Amino acid sequence: MADKILVETSARHAHVTKEDLEILFGKGASLTHKKDLSQPGQFACEERITVVGPKGEMPGVSILGPERPATQVELSLTDARKLGITAPIRESGDVKDSGACKLVGPCGEVELKEGVIIAKRHIHMTPEDAAVYNVSDKEIVSVKIDSPERSLTLGDVVVRVSPKFALAMHIDTDESNAVACARGEAFGELIKA
């Protein structure tokens, strides 16, 4: 059997276009690298924004780089409820007809008519990883996460395969709290349907 997969918590964050970045942070603004993320070329930025919904606002939301072709906000279901945003569970990048919000930066505001999602739990894999686990891109699997206090099997996990990825499963903060991942490093066992 293949080795267990690292399970990482993907907290609330935003991806922004160059145009929206300049509205939020000023003409000529660029993303300031804070730390690398597990996925090659992805990084957390120093820049933070406020996400505003009908019921409130959430300050200090991290931006992840590099810039993207479309601005997108990824929240947990709890975050979306708190803000009063109706956000669908989707794969990253699938923002058509998704939730709306306002983004506020130190230099301006951006009204998103769509772009707020709850990220579908997923596993990043290279083609070589997919061969080891005997899965294909877009396949839906389950992952059993063992925890001393709250073991859990998560279903409806989408496999995402690209040579640009590194092997890791991403879950949001609600899912992470359900299995007590926040208490240390967590690993999961892939289960095929």
pLDDT-derived band of residue 149, with 50, 70 and 90 as boundaries? Answer: confident
3-class DSSP assignment, residue 10? coil
pLDDT, tens only, 90-109: 999 999 999 999 999 999 99
Q: Which of 86, 81, 47 lies closest to 67, judged by CA? A: 47
Tell me what pLDDT residue 181 has: 66
pLDDT, tens only, 19-63: 999 999 999 999 999 999 999 999 999 999 999 999 999 999 999
Q: Which residue ranges make up each domain of the chain? A: 10-119, 121-191
Tell me what pLDDT residue 163 has: 98
pTM of the model: 0.93
pLDDT-derived band of residue 1, with 50, 70 and 90 as boundaries? Answer: very low
